[in-house]
Structures are given as C-alpha cells and as structure tokens.
Amino acid sequence: MKSSIESPAGSTDYDVIIVGGGPVGLLLACLLRQQGLHLRVLERRVEPIAHSAAIGITPPSLQILDKLGLAAEFIASGLKVRDCFVDGQRGRLGCVSFREIPDAHRFILSLPQVSTIAILQKHLGQDHIELGCEVSDVRQFADHCSVQTGECTLTSRFVIACDGSRSRVRELIGIRAPSHVYGCHFVMGDFVDRTGFGDEAHLYFTATGSVESFPLPGGQRRWVVQTETRLDHPPPGLVSELTRERTGIVVPASDQINESVFTPRKFNSDCYYKGRIILCGDAAHGMSPIGGQGMNTGFADAEFLAAILCHADPLKLLPAYNRFRRKAAKTAIFRAEWGMWLGTWRGRMRSRVRDVILKFLLCQGPVARHMGSFYAMLTIPFNTLKRVPAASLKPRPL
C-alpha cells in the first residue's frame, strides 16, 4: 500500500476510509462505491471469521440490499424463515408468523454472517479493501483526517469507524460508550439438522432455562441454550444435553459443527461522530444478540450514512445522523433487552407467569398480528432512509 496516492478525492488519498470490513463496513463501502466515492476499507482480519454470529436478515435490510441489486443473491444463498413457534412449560403457546407482514419480503432470511461478508466483499471488489491491515491511530484536521496503519499514513475527507463493539477508533477520539453487562449467559452451536423442522424457528421457554433453535442453509440448525453461569469452556455435549433435558429433542453431540459462548451487553455511544470521524454499526451501539437486531441496525446506519456522505456538505447533516440513528438503536436495544429478560426467567412460578404473558401476546388477534412486524424490525423508528422525514436531511447551518 502506498502512503500517498493520487486520487479523484483531490488533496486527500480518499474521500472516505472505512476502518473495519465486517458486514456493516462492507455494506457501507458498497453503497458509497455505487455513488462513485473513492474509498478504502482497512480490515485487520486476513481469514474469514470462524463462527456464524448473525444469521437473521430482516426485511428492511433486504430493502437496502435491493438498492445494490444484491437481495436476490442473498435470498438464493439463504433460507426463508416464515414462522417461529413458541413453547412454554406445558406445550405450544403460539407462533410469530411473518407470512402477512406489510412488506415485499415476508420472511426473515437466515444466512450465516460469514456468507453475508463473502457476498458483500465479492461485490465490493478486491481493489477497495486492504486485508491484514490494522489501524493504530486516527487524527483529524480542519478539512481532512489521517489514518495510521503500520508505517503507512493515509488521508481522507472522512473516516468511518466500523471496527466493532470494542472500537479502537471510538476510544482514540474519546467518545464514551458506557456499557452494561447482563447477568444472562448462553452457549450456542450449529448442528447437522435431523429434526425435520425444515425452515421453522422454535423457541422453548422452560423453568430451567431457554432453548432457541433456528434453521440455517445447507441442512444445518443453530441451537442456543441458556446457562446459569458463563462457561468459557463448556463440557463436551452440553448444548445437546440441555436441549434434551429442556425440550425432549435429541440433537446428537456428534452432529455439532461449532460452538461459542456469549454473555450479552448493551451500550449506546454518547454521540455517533466527532468532527469528521463517524461511528457506524457495532462501533456505535451494542445490544443483546437475542432478537437478532445488531447487524440489521448497523445496516440501517450504513444506509443513512451513505446518503449523507454523498451530499455536498456532509458535516451539516451529521447531527441528523446522530439523532435518528441513536434513537433507532435505543429502541432496538430496549426490545432486545425486553425479549431476553422475559425469555430467561427461571423457576416454576415465573415460568407460569411468562406462559400467560406469551399466550396473550401470541394468541390474541391484533396483538398477535403485530408480533410479526415487531420481530421483523418493521416497527423500529427510521428503519430505512425512506422513513426519515425529508426535511431532516436538508443541511442546517452548523
């Protein structure tokens, strides 16, 4: 990589440097390339991620992918989840159905994060991403920023931090992101699927802990079990054992493909930008993965930010980005927390109360109908740019 490159960006090497080539950084890069901006994604990883992390892609995200002409490829690679069945202590409580949600895409698309990254990276093209490139410093001046990586200094008009929840860039520019670690712990594993559940998702809420089960493409299924404490080294076969104990379903340990452990936390950064350096995706906010909203919230950030960065005077629109995207993240964080809180109640009495609440939510007419839109993230405020008042995107004096 050269340290100073003649480019269409004029006096800087690039219009935009994106730190981090996770799903959000790559989506943002694709959207900016579509508008003809000169950019570089700097990603410290060399190999693809080992775990599948995010799997649920919601309809608003598919609308954004549509803009890039990528929705069809995503849908062809993934699996459409149209129903999520919910069981309690004494059997079926109801179903969250996406079949009648008011959107062109009436399903949640299941696709492992590693495949999402691969499709976006291929679409962006090798020329715009530098792998194995860790950013160690960022600085900003009146009209540009500089980014340090190894011995090399690159300049751009804007730097976007898409470097994940432990963002180095956020730390360097001193934006506070006080976080809260929840007292809930989970172990998850992807298995060869022999359940016969097909494309159905299943949630089991029991007195001894929750079990969640989501279909994956390629004949696999993810199982997520709640544990009492954080188990950094779970005993072999734990996911199978807890699944059998709590649901009666036999998921042979020999069918397990991978395993990971997580303890959710939440944060919403105090501000999503400082001068010309802007936070996006997990660098800006963190939420419980239960509910599957983190990456989707980041995709909506990227769409908003792409529109701003293509504007003649992006600096004047950053307050709107901060206001609308912080509010959207706040709602998503609250919903993920609420869902996890209710789902992780343990003990017989609390379980019975939960069953009553869930039966009401899932089996009564208008409320039950609303649940599909709720979990598809159609009711998150400003979930796509189309739902942001146009007047807010008119620049105001700084």
Ligand X SMILES: Cc1cc2nc3c(=O)[nH]c(=O)nc-3n(C[C@H](O)[C@H](O)[C@H](O)COP(=O)(O)OP(=O)(O)OC[C@H]3O[C@@H](n4cnc5c(N)ncnc54)[C@H](O)[C@@H]3O)c2cc1C
Cβ–Cβ < 8 Å for 42, 135: yes
Give the footprint of ligand X on this chain (CB under 6 A): 19-25, 42-45, 53-56, 113, 134-135, 162-164, 168, 188, 262, 281-282, 289, 292-296, 298
**Closest distance between ligand X and the C-beta of residue 22, in Å?**
2
Q: Exposed, middle or buried by CB within 10 Å (0-12, 13-18, 19+), for 313?
A: exposed
Q: CB–CB of 22/164 below 8 Å?
A: yes
Q: Smallest distance, Å, CB 203 to ligand X? A: 14
How near is the Cβ of 358 to ligand X at its closest, in Å? Answer: 21
What's the CA gap between 76 and 113, in Å, rounded?
Answer: 15
As a whole number of angstroms, the distance between CA 386 and CA 321 comes to 14
State which residue, 238 or 355, has the beta carbon closest to ligand X: 238
- CB burial of residue 323 (10 Å; 0-12, 13-18, 19+): middle
Specify the residue for token string 């390629």. Answer: 218
For ligand X, which is the closer residue by CB, 234 or 289? Answer: 289
> What is the number of the residue whose Cβ is closest to ligand X?
22
- Cβ atoms within 10 Å, residue 397: 4
Q: Which is nearer to ligand X, 182 or 262 (CB)?
A: 262
Q: Is the Cβ of residue 23 or residue 78 nearer to ligand X in the bound state? A: 23
Q: Which is nearer to ligand X, 89 or 199 (CB)?
A: 199
Two structure tokens written together for 395: 């620049």
State the nearest-atom distance from the C-beta of 341 to ligand X, in Å.
Answer: 17
Q: Measured from the CB of residue 127, what is the shortest distance to ligand X in angstroms? A: 18
Which amino acid appears at position 266 of this protein? K
CB nearer ligand X, residue 87 or residue 282: 282
CB of 222 to ligand X, least distance (A): 9
